[in-house]
A = this chain, B = another copy of it.
Amino acid sequence: MSLLQHLSTTISSSSSAFLVHSNFNSRTKNVSLQAKRNSIFKCVAAVPKESQTAYKTNVSRNGNLAKLQAGYLFPEIARRRAAHLLKYPDAQVISLGIGDTTEPIPEVITSAMRKRSQELSTLEGYSGYGAEQGEKSLRAAIASTFYTNLGIEDDDIFVSDGAKCDISRLQVVFGADVTMAVQDPSYPAYVDSSVIMGQTGQFRKDVLKFESIEYMKCTPENGFFPDLSGVCRTDIIFFCSPNNPTGAAATREQLTQLVKFAKDNGSIIVYDSAYAMYMSEDNPRSIFEIPGAKEVAIETSSFSKYAGFTGVRLGWTVVPKELLFSDGFPVAKDFSRIVCTCFNGASNIAQAGGLACLSPEGLKAMHEVIGFYKENTDIIVETFNSLGFNVYGGKNAPYVWVHFPGQSSWDVFSEILEKTHVVTTPGSGFGPAGEGFVRVSAFGYRSNILEACKRFKQLYK
């Protein structure tokens, strides 16, 4: 391994803030890594001369990034998977970790992307910069498909390259001077983007939380819906339903409570509905089904898990024009400014794919793919149930949340990986209340799901 490769590995392999739980001495580790790098700079002959001097600029590192200490959760899991493969080169590793889609995209959708690609080679079909907010036809199709009769209009929809990207753009809109709440556990992008924007204090290793973030505990005891009477007022409330990672979907009554809570406090809800189409039960698919939500909520969603667009990159965010900052300024106007200045619209080819997704044939095809993953979910749920585990989620989301009471979820993750070659996600990676759980993703080939479940049965019989 060359020095440059070594440095590159170092760059991509830092551990997540939440990982600190299993790496209590990460500070020491970082120090020794630094020492290791310095010593390499001094002793490896192949290093270019300019590197040996280790010139440093006078630009201070952004203190907010330093707070993270740490890498994003999923790259860390990818790193551990890679390390496992190095250790067991012949292992048949099955990945039920990151939640990456595996089923091919239905032809009706890819044929639209092929067609759009081809048209880009013609004078009539060529298109350059589009509206930063997305193509009109797609905005209209999203509004009419997902927000029928909810009073959401085409121009409330902002098309994007994915919900994760929009979460960061929303944080840029909010800036450093807001406070925020998250479900605990929750998708790590909410907390990490908040830290990056400077909304938080330091990470407190004693409680495994960042200062100034309100963690709303979601556990089996409260049915994975926070006890709002114990939640402090914040400016922003991130809320994901069906939830990643717990798989819990909030009921109409719970969301009515949430909207009332936001309204009483003058807070803005950022509602992540990226798994809404996975719901089996009759819970709201959108926060805008709750009366009055347009005045207090933003909703972000994505084609990633509906159409297998994790690599194609297409999502959207709804910012109703009724949503106003305290001075009366429309949030949508600032979001549009950020979209125009920091983004240039989603790929036109991906947008053509998105439009095909929302045709009658596309919707049918998406439902079929979703149905396939839901069958996977049932298989995983049944497996862990049969082994006597308490299992949550699964019914309304492609994630199964398995309880290992009293155990460290990183230990469980490691044991499962070591003994079954199956990659899962440790619950504590999503926040301290995820400790003792492991998230099993239902995204995978059927044969892999069956094989993984067979191995789980061998391990836990």
Copies in the complex: 2
Give chain B nearest CB distance to A405 CB in angstroms.
31
Residues of A that sit less than 8 Å from B by CB: 4-5, 7-8, 10-12, 14, 34, 48, 50-51, 54-66, 68, 71-72, 74-75, 98, 100-107, 109-111, 113-114, 117-118, 120-123, 125-130, 132-133, 151, 153, 155, 161-162, 164-165, 168, 172-178, 189, 192-193, 196-198, 235-236, 263, 265-268, 292, 294-296, 308, 310-313, 321-330, 332-334, 336-338, 340-350, 353
Assess whether A313 is in contact with B55, with CB atoms less than 8 Å apart: no
**Looking at the complex, which one of B164, B177, B235, B328 makes contact with A56 (CB distance below 8 Å)?**
B328
Which of A11, A176, A268, A334 counts the most chain B CB atoms within 10 A?
Answer: A11
Assess whether B168 is in contact with A342, with CB atoms less than 8 Å apart: yes
CB neighbours of A161 from chain B (8 A):
161, 313, 343-344, 347
Assess whether A267 is in contact with B57, with CB atoms less than 8 Å apart: yes
Give the complex CA separation of A123 and B103 in angstroms.
7
**Looking at the complex, which one of B104, B189, B326 makes contact with A59 (CB distance below 8 Å)?**
B326
Assess whether A54 is in contact with B328, with CB atoms less than 8 Å apart: yes
18 CB contacts below 8 A, A to B, read A11-B333, A50-B294, A55-B322, A57-B295, A57-B296, A57-B326, A60-B178, A61-B327, A62-B177, A62-B334, A102-B128, A105-B121, A107-B121, A114-B117, A117-B349, A117-B353, A165-B343, A346-B347
Give the complex CA separation of A54 and B12 in angstroms.
47
**Looking at the complex, which one of B101, B172, B196, B350 makes contact with A128 (CB distance below 8 Å)?**
B101
